[in-house]
Amino acid sequence: MTKPANTSTILHRLAKSWLGHTLVVTQTTRTWLLVFSLCLVFVGPTNAKPKPEFLIVGTGGLSGIYYPAGSAICRIVNRYRKQQGIRCSVESTRGSVANLNTLGSGDIDLAIAQSDTQFHAYNGTDVFADMPANRHLRTLFNLHVEPFTVVVSERSGIQTFDDLKGKRVSIGRPGSGQRQTMQALMTAKGWQMEDFDEVHELTAIHHARALCDDAIDAFVYTVGHPAGSITEAADSCKIKLISVSQEAVNSLVAQHSYYQRMRIASGIYRGVNRDTDTLGVRAALIASTATSEDTIYHIVKDVFENLDSMQKMHPAFEALVKQEMVPRNPQIPLHEGAIRYFREAGLLKSDTSANQVSLQTP
């Protein structure tokens, strides 16, 4: 049976390996070699790769803008996975409310959500009233604007927002951004579900077929433009976009800082030849304090320094501007990792902290 090597033998082998010849091992030499060996054990190789970190981004339906937004972010971040050790993947979800719920439970790491939903999740209000306020949420950066869009079939005879009463309307799935905005508008106007002939809860992927097959008269969608489901509807049947009544818009904008007046330009969709006035929100990428400052720093840096690439990935991203993507009055405090990059890039004052960035109030 082979006799185990003693310490002196091991040190001889190490010395020969390191120095290229046999070394006479004295007690002093043995001590120094042991110290050197321990240093190698604890320090490790100098070219060690970063420990892999796997992140999931909650997005939205496949035909909306959140899914391509999350895909664009992950595509950029994954370019640097060898250097940074971050691997990013997207998950299709029901939208803003579902994303922030899942982020709160720790089942995803990043979430795309609209501004009103962000506010309610952070403060435990509205659709989040039955849950504790999630004060661990943090903002990374703004994305595209999202006008509340009312799409009707031409044959429905709908001319104004008030004409939706008595019609067959899809108000969005529970947990979706459009459902939340529609309910806010209904409250402002004093409407009830019973005011519609039929209420549908379709996902965006079913909007076009339902509208053009005359299964519904209208659907609402809080989304960046152009949106796939609206393009599909416009290419399949005659549609119109309906302006939201200014009285309701003025009321909601005055009461809630997360809403703003918006206009959908004509010419985006076939047959829609006039501008549409409405209200809307802004999407943002949200994380929690559970994700480290370094990880968030790298994500924000990767996206901002490759913004020209992201702008080419979807028409809705063409209007993204770095200065507007930096949240000035966010619904949720900025993540320290985001602040670190914004300071470094000169997009925030060097003395700005998460608590010094003004939060919006209801």
DSSP state of 334: B
pLDDT given at position 177: 80
To which CATH superfamily is domain 146-281 assigned? Periplasmic binding protein-like II (3.40.190.10)
Burial class (CB in 10 A: 0-12, 13-18, 19+), 21: exposed
Fold matches, 53-145+282-356 and 146-281: yes
- Choice among 53-67, 197-211, 271-285, 340-354 with the minimum mean pLDDT: 340-354
Q: What tokens were used for 159?
A: 């001319």
Q: Output the pLDDT for position 15.
A: 41
Q: How far is CA 356 from CA 45, 165, 344, in A?
A: 41, 45, 17
Q: What is the pTM of this model?
A: 0.79
Q: What's the pLDDT at 324?
A: 95
Residue among 258, 289, 259, 256 at smallest CA distance from 139: 289
Looking at the predicted structure, is the pLDDT value of residue 198 above 90?
yes
Residue 24, CA distances (Å) to 11, 30, 35, 209, 219 in order? 10, 10, 17, 85, 86
Average pLDDT over residues 214-218: 98
What average pLDDT does this structure show over 49-75?
91
Q: Give burial (CB, 10 Å; 0-12/13-18/19+) of 3.
A: exposed
Residue 32 clears pLDDT 50, i.e. is over it = no
DSSP 30: H
Question: 130-184 pLDDT, tens per residue?
Answer: 999 999 999 999 999 999 999 999 999 999 999 999 999 999 988 788 898 999 9
pLDDT at 125: 94
DSSP 214: T
> Phi and psi at residue 189, in whole multiples of 5°?
-95, -5
The yes or no reply on domain 53-145+282-356 and CATH 3.40.190.10 is yes
Instruction: Give the model's pLDDT for residue 46.
Output: 46
Which of the 8 DSSP states describes residue 317?
A: G
What's residue 152's pLDDT? 98
Res 50 pLDDT > 60: yes
Please, what is the average pLDDT of the chain?
A: 87
Band the pLDDT of 26: cuts 50, 70, 90. very low
* Mean pLDDT confidence for 40-45: 45
Distance between CA atoms of 59 and 74, rounded to whole angstroms? 11
Q: Does pLDDT of 274 surpass 80?
A: yes
Confidence of residue 61 (pLDDT cuts 50, 70, 90): confident
The single-letter code of the amino acid at 124 is G
Q: How confident is the model at residue 52 (pLDDT cuts 50, 70, 90)?
A: confident
Distance CA 234, CA 230 (A): 6
- Tell me which DSSP letter residue 346 carries: T
Percent of the chain with pLDDT over 90: 75
The residue extents of the domains of the chain are 53-145+282-356, 146-281
